[in-house]
Structure 1
């Protein structure tokens, strides 16, 4: 997972400061040394690290502690703010042309995932802007690059323009733009060739494509696993092409995070998107403040909420909340809920977005394989309708029958029933706005996590009347 080692090191360095009534200059120096080592180990640019530590010390020694924070929390707040500044402070959007089409040219070295990212960005634009994109196959050198782009186009139901016999990429792009003009496509995404390293031939070709296409966005696709080397690649491309932004790929890999933390500070270029996974849906807008919070283990509730709004069925969620309040949540609902959560992405990724959960050792390596959902379904479908609707009647003899019917060990059946009861209890507390007891869960003992839970509780109580009105409208 991206930033995992860096996150652990930074949290360890800052943990020693929390809870202290007063922090000395020696405490700050010690924490700064740990933070410096953590950043250098993550392959962050040396000058960036030097400036970062200098600013933290200056702010920590010069600022008065806010009344709502203890001195340790104040340092965490300063580190959070400086991490956010390092990565760009605010999210940056694509440049949009005043007339169609908006042209996006993707450039980068070979093996960064450029062609897949073209497909991911097309899918993103179709969902966000209901766009009608055209993809242009400008990589005529890599074997199967055109076939790969065509396959992506077929999966997305998006047209792909290519010329198999033409070796002049600038001319292919020119003809592709004419096709987009004819068909009124509002976005054109140009996939270009890469090399193992920057060379004159590659740059000359990309310059000629730029002269023909006049792209509104020239995006450099960078492999996050290359660390600090990514900044040199960005500087090399930017010198000749006037890049408008960066897309970081493979952020879900075994990366140390140096690229994301260094690239904006060194080049001045904004990170616009990040790719985490191989699916065409695995592309996210980059928010520096949210990434800083995740690195410091404070979660990322905004991204989690956005994911839920995008992928979660709102009506089903309201029905589920009502069942929780009325205490009628059963095994049929449990299966439905697991399928809904599965749409949001890997469980281990979602857990890290919840304040306090990122630091929970018991949840650190939690994963729910796809076949685990199938096992749960097999157990539930081996129950009678009465047993699914009334879990309390599941005595030992019924459980043995269910285990035999589903082909699962009795231990697994008992474990699943226990998980169901725990899930039901937790969700009942959350939907009623009663967070009491949840604060005692492992990993929820930090002040930030407690504040987040109290805030969530207040919001649930405040919006209770609104939710009930929605439910009445839904049922009527």
Structure 2
């Protein structure tokens, strides 16, 4: 998400960030670039106008003139205005009510509403230790009820059964009554979607809302629809007292216009981002971190949180001890690293969150895509346990067998083994106190073999 916008803006910010002095002319030129970047990212025109006006007002005022580094201050102004446009701080769910706290999910068909119910259920169970129940009030699609039941089973939460013969209001009320008896903390109510906003749909969901009086009413919208996402959110916001938005499919949206427009147009905060298909691919939305990523400054806090949640600490510790003590590093250890990297959003996902990696990401995109790590993993999986522990036994016929088994070429197997040997050498140097010596010797450069294709 934000790839195109980030590329344009960070380029523009770099050029002005180094300026010792800002003039009306170079601010005007930079603002024109920023305006074009936002419009190309499909940000709504009123949002762009408001954003540019605010940045200009602050930039030509005393704020910049009094500073010793005006260029850097200008970048800070753009960053803080990006944050303001998206809502300044994370807006958490308000669950402080007599249990069960009821959350109503609304949205158009195909926006990923049912999947988001499952993701949110998992998020609340794992991160906030809540007992969650899900229920489908979509009486028009039996498949939607079945889909939610399957997802509930996957994420390990309570599912309240419903059928197409029932009325949505009756289903929701029955689920809430059952949740009270079972001491459930949160009830997530999935509702029917339509292909477009229509009066019948709005009347039905308004009736459902007034009957169950949810503490949170979340609008689920597809980020890839750009400005339309903000306009649809506005239509729902006018009909329902929305408390927030879940922006889905952000991993497929390189522009990011919806994220920058929704808050301004609806006045409602984005609370979560759907960042993939897996049930754990839901992130709390932090405008400050997103603004930092847009300007190519990385997002260290999100990276740390991801490592905390997804890295198998025991396994990592075991490998670290083995490397530090004996200098040993097997192909199985290498494969485990690749798997963990993929679970954290892949190599590119990790690099996007690292400060200063914006430029580098472009340089090595061709040789570091995530397809390559999947291919490397397939090659290692096609080896026998003995071959993974003793890769020196892998010669001609074995290489051909491994290549056939993994659907790759012999040269791919050769490349992987070469990279692994380089990595193994590096690990041997880390044995004992060798890490500090190695880092000094590298002079800040990456060692060979650290990145695929190098």
TM-score normalized with structure 1 length: 0.82
Equivalent residues in 2 for 1:224-235, closer than 5 Å: 224-235=223-234
**1:122-201 counterparts in 2 under 5 A?**
122-201=121-200
Contact 2:223/2:253, CA 8 A, preserved across alignment: no
Equivalence for 1:359 = 359
CA distance in 2, matches of 1:79, 1:145: 43
Distance in 1 between the 2:243 and 2:115 partners?
20
Could you say which residue in structure 1 is the equivalent of 2:415? 415
Residues in 2 aligned to 1:142 and 1:417: alpha-carbon distance in whole angstroms = 51
Structure 1, gaps ≥5 residues long: 389-393, 443-476
Cα deviation, residue 350, structure 1: 1.6
Change (3 A) 1:382 1:315: closer
Question: 354-363 or 431-440, which moves further after superposition?
Answer: 431-440
Q: Deviations over 1:416-462 (max 9, x none)?
A: 244335556499599649477474569xxxxxxxxxxxxxxxxxxxx
CA–CA distance in 1 between the matches of 2:231 and 2:49?
Answer: 18
Matched, 1:108 2:110: no
1:3 and 2:7 correspond: no
After superposition, the CA RMSD in angstroms is: 2.9
Shift of the alpha carbon at 1:358?
2.8
Preserved contact between residue 101 and residue 184 of structure 1 (Cα < 8 Å): yes
1:341-420 aligned at under 5 Å gives the runs: 341-360=341-360, 361-364=362-365, 366-369=368-371, 370-378=374-382, 381=385, 383=387, 385=389, 387=390, 400=396, 403-404=399-400, 406-407=402-403, 411-420=411-420
What is the CA–CA distance in structure 1 between the aligned matches of 2:440 and 2:316, rounded to whole Å? 19
- Tell me, yes or no, if the aligned pair for 1:382 and 1:405 is still in contact at 8 Å: no
Q: Hey, what's the Cα distance between the residues in 2 that align with 1:422 and 1:23?
A: 48
Q: Offset at 1:92? A: 0.9
Check the 8 A contact 2:245/2:272 in 1, yes or no: yes
Q: Which range moves more in the overlay, 268-277 or 149-158?
A: 149-158
- Cα 1:404–1:250 shift into 2, 3 Å: closer
Inter-CA distance 324–179: structure 2 relative to 1 (3 Å threshold): same
Equivalent-residue separation in structure 2 for 1:95 and 1:435 (angstroms):
50
How many residues are matched?
432
What residue in structure 2 maps to residue 59 of structure 1?
A: 58
Question: Helix, strand or coil: the match of 1:136?
Answer: strand
State the secondary structure of the residue aligned to 2:187.
Answer: strand
Which residues in structure 2 correspond to 1:302-313 (within 5 Å)?
A: 302-313=301-312
Segments of structure 2 that go 5 or more residues without pairing to the other structure are 448-454
Q: 1:192–1:49: structure 2 CA closer, same or farther, 3 Å change rule?
A: same
SS in 2 for 1:51: helix
Cα distance change, pair 351–65 in 1 and its aligned pair in 2 (3 A): farther
Output the CA distance in 1 between the equivalents of 2:24 and 2:376: 51
* Alignment pair present for 1:336 and 2:336: yes
Distance in 2, Cα, partners of 1:318 & 1:123: 27
1:314 aligns with 2:286: no
Is the 1:399–1:413 Cα contact (8 Å) retained in structure 2? Answer: no
Give the conservation status (yes or no) of the 8 Å contact 1:107–1:220.
yes
- Once residues 27 and 246 of structure 1 are traced to their aligned partners in structure 2, the CA distance between those partners, rounded to angstroms, is 37
Check if 1:48 corresponds to 2:47: yes
Q: Which deviates further from its counterpart, 142-151 or 117-126?
A: 142-151
Q: TM-score, normalised by structure 2?
A: 0.86
Counterparts of residues 200-349 of structure 1 (less than 5 Å): 200-326=199-325, 328-331=327-330, 332-349=332-349
